[in-house]
Amino acid sequence: MIREKRLRVALICGGNSAEREVSLAGAREIEKALDPAKYSVVRFDPASDLETLIKHSHEIDVAFVLLHGPYGEDGTIQGMLELLNIPYQGSGVLGSAMAMNKHMAKTQYMQAGIPTPDWVMIKKDQNFSPSEISKRLGLPMMVKPCIQGSSVGMSIVRRERDLRKAIEQALEFDHRIIVEQFIQGRELTGGVLGLDPPRALPLVEVIPGEGHEFFDYEAKYTPGATRELCPAPVEEPVTRKAQELALAAHEALRLTAYSRTDMILDESGSLWVIETNTIPGMTPTSLFPQAAKAAGIEFPRLLEMLLEMAVKAHRQCL
C-alpha cells in the first residue's frame, strides 16, 4: 500500500453561527487555493459532522478552522481539537475565548495599556439607566452583543431614548452586551502574522460606502459596498503606532500565528482599538489576505504558512 504523502487537512467550516455563509464562501476559496499535489482536503461541518470528525481524527494531520463567531472562533472547536490531538491554525482555547468576548478583550486591552473606547457591560434582565449610560459615554453610542461577529446585532444609538431598543436587539444574540463610546474617525485594520516573533502586516483602511453608518454586515459582504485601501494612506507615525497596537493586542489576548485588530483613528489623530479577530475572513479579497499580499505573501502561501505554524505550535500551549 502506498502511504498518502500529502498532508491531510480537515477543513472545518459551516457551523451554526450567523456567519455560516461567510464561512462556506471562504472554504471554497481555500479548497481552490491549496495545491492538490501537497494537500488532501476534507470538509467537516460542525452542524452535521462532529461525530465523523471524532471517528476519523487519527486520519487527520492538521485542521484549518474556518468558522466565525460563536462555536468556532471562541475556543470551543479549538478545545475539541486539543482533546483529539489535532493541530489547528491560529489561536488556542484561551486566546480565542478572550478575543471573541468583546468585554473580556477590552478588559485585557485596558490592562495592557491599549487605548479602547469606554464602555459598560449589561447582562440580560439587568436594570440600567439610559440617562446614566449616555451621560457617561456621550452620544452616539455603539451597542454590541459581547460574543458575535460580522456586526450582527449591532447598532448605533444617536438618541438616548433609542438605547433600550438597541440593547434588546443585541440581547437577542447574546445574554451580555456592551454599550461603547462611539469614535468618529477613519477605520484601520491591522494584521499580525508569525510565531516567533509575530510581525505586523501593512494596514488596511476600510471606507464603508454611503448609506452605511458603519462597517455593517451589508458593507462587509456586498461586493463594491466598501472601499479598502492597502497599504492604508496614513502618515508613517500613524502606521507605526497602529502596527504596534495590533501587535500589543495580539500579545495581550495571548493569540497565536495570526490575528486582525480593528481600530479607529479619531479626528485628533489618536488610535482606539475596537476588537481583535482570531479567524479573519479568508477569501483572497478579504482584509487579512489583502494585507498579506501587500507584504509579498500570496493567498496560497499564506494558507501554507498557517498550516505549517499549526503543526509547529501544536502542544506548545501557546
Ligand X SMILES: Nc1ncnc2c1ncn2[C@@H]1O[C@H](COP(=O)(O)OP(=O)(O)O)[C@@H](O)[C@H]1O
Positions annotated as catalytic residues are: 19, 150, 221, 260, 262, 275, 277, 281
- Phi and psi at 67, nearest 5°, equal -125, 140
The string over 184-223, giving b where at least 16 C-beta atoms fall within 10 Å of a residue's C-beta and e elsewhere, is: ebbbbbbbbbebeebebbbbbbbebeeebeebbbebbbee
- The residue from 162, 214, 251, 318 that contacts ligand X (CB under 6 A) is 214
Q: Output the residue with the shortest Cβ distance to Mg ion.
A: 262
- Is there binding between residue 262 and ligand X (CB under 6 A)? yes
Size of the site for ligand X (CB under 6 A): 18
- The residue from 45, 73, 275, 304 that contacts ligand X (CB under 6 A) is 275
> Smaller CB distance to ligand X: residue 65 or 309?
65
* Beta-sheet strand order (sheet of 119-123): 119-123, 176-181, 141-145, 155-157
The cell for 190 is 491591522
Q: Give CA–CA dist 58/188, Å, rounded.
A: 41
Closest distance between ligand X and the C-beta of residue 209, in Å?
A: 12
Query: With CB under 6 A as the contact rule, which of the stretches 44-52, 73-81, 131-139, 174-182 interacts with ligand X?
Result: 174-182
> Smaller CB distance to ligand X: residue 57 or 76?
76
- The residue from 183, 234, 242, 302 that contacts ligand X (CB under 6 A) is 183
- The residue from 18, 264, 279, 307 that contacts ligand X (CB under 6 A) is 264
Binder of residue 145, out of ligand X, Mg ion, none (CB less than 5 to 8 A by kind): none
Q: Output the residue with the shortest Cβ distance to ligand X.
A: 215
- Is there binding between residue 74 and Mg ion (CB under 5 A)? no
Q: Give CA–CA dist 71/315, Å, rounded.
A: 21
Closest distance between ligand X and the C-beta of residue 55, in Å?
A: 33
Binder of residue 302, out of Mg ion, ligand X, none (CB less than 5 to 8 A by kind): none
By CB under 5 A, the residues from 241 to 280 that bind Mg ion are 262
Q: Give CA–CA dist 33/286, Å, rounded.
A: 14
Distances (CA, A) of 151 to 136, 157, 290, 295: 23, 14, 20, 27
- The residue from 64, 109, 173, 182 that contacts ligand X (CB under 6 A) is 182
Cβ burial, residue 92 (10 Å; 0-12/13-18/19+): buried
Neighbours of 114 (CB within 10 A): 24
Closest distance between ligand X and the C-beta of residue 169, in Å?
A: 14
Q: Contact letters (x/-) for ligand X, 77-116, by CB under 6 A?
A: ----------------------------------------
Per the CB < 8 A criterion, the answer to whether 263 and 190 are in contact is yes
- The residue from 67, 274, 287, 302 that contacts ligand X (CB under 6 A) is 274
Tell me if residue 44 falls in helix, strand or coil: strand
The cell for 317 is 500551549
> Smaller CB distance to ligand X: residue 283 or 309?
283
Angle between helix axes 76-83 and 93-100 (nearest 10 degrees) is 170
The cell for 306 is 498557517
Closest distance between Mg ion and the C-beta of residue 60, in Å?
A: 30
- Is there binding between residue 134 and ligand X (CB under 6 A)? no
Contact residues toward Mg ion (CB under 5 A) are 262
Contact residues toward ligand X (CB under 6 A) are 117, 142, 144, 149-151, 154, 180-183, 187, 214-215, 262, 264, 274-275
